[in-house]
Chains A and B, each alone.
Chain A
């Protein structure tokens, strides 16, 4: 069966546990994020060209690809950093507007955040990746009338001010010690 006509049945393959490492150059404030598979996040300061990068944060996560069990198509998701859900922090943010509007029809919108491209631009999933990710999550659903909508992360109005729930394993512990 050709990949074009296949009604894909996706499953996760190549799942790798690791960390999203965020580093910052203390000279120019340049931020970079990448996926690391070390058992403990790398925290050493290092120099690269004019930059001196320092560890800022590490968030445990998984990296995976999708494989169609019917036609054998593999969709690499190596550039996918994390999936996030809008917290409605900016009223006129496109992701907020879509999320609120879609929720009325039990369509739950999420954003796909990607690693920056090698030239430092905000990364994004291509249409094949977005389609596969949407098909993968929607195929799992059993609740009647419910749908998942994965949107590109660039729908966020202002990533620096975005307070979205990012699905990584960091910040999970409540601050309330009595909890």
Chain B
């Protein structure tokens, strides 16, 4: 499933440019150390963190896209950094729990 395909099924919108990539699974964490340890290329990273560290960590492990839950805002410099490394930041009004429940039901698991 690609990011664009998932956007048709789950409520979320891109906050920067859409870099459509295949999604291979996902992880939910607010810690960059977790991403370095367990994140995989192609994963969707679900978090409430909006710091620039998120982009640096996501790029390091080649995360497909970052999903910011609870409708949290993201600073322009973070979005600019995401554009530079071609990682889409998606926003959803849902809580992480609900968002993951929906994507899990669509077949996206931690080791899809």
Interface presence of B57 (CB below 8 A)? yes
Residues of A within 8 A of B40 (CB): 140
Interface residues of A in 74-97 (CB under 8 A from B): 83, 85
Interface residues of B in 59-80 (CB under 8 A from A): 59-62, 72-73, 75
Interface presence of A129 (CB below 8 A)? no
Q: Are B33 and A85 in contact (CB under 8 A)?
A: no
User: A141 CA to B60 CA in the complex, in Å?
Assistant: 9
Shortest beta-carbon distance, A132 to chain B, in Å? 15
Quick one: closest B residue to A17, CB to CB? B33
Residues of A within 8 A of B49 (CB): 172
Interface presence of A35 (CB below 8 A)? no
Q: Size class of B's contact patch?
A: 20 to 34
Shortest beta-carbon distance, A12 to chain B, in Å? 6
Q: Are A137 and B86 in contact (CB under 8 A)?
A: no
Interface presence of A114 (CB below 8 A)? no
Interface presence of A70 (CB below 8 A)? no
User: A108 CA to B58 CA in the complex, in Å?
Assistant: 12
Q: How many residues of A contact B (CB 8 A)?
A: 31
User: A173 CA to B31 CA in the complex, in Å?
Assistant: 11
Q: Are B51 and A167 in contact (CB under 8 A)?
A: no
Q: Knowing A62-B37, A85-B56, say if A169 contacts B31 (CB, 8 Å).
A: yes
A sample of 10 inter-chain contacts (CB < 8 A) reads: A12-B37, A62-B33, A83-B60, A85-B56, A137-B60, A140-B41, A148-B60, A167-B32, A168-B33, A171-B51
Residues of B within 8 A of A (CB): 21-22, 24, 30-33, 36-37, 40-42, 49-53, 56-57, 59-62, 72-73, 75, 84-86
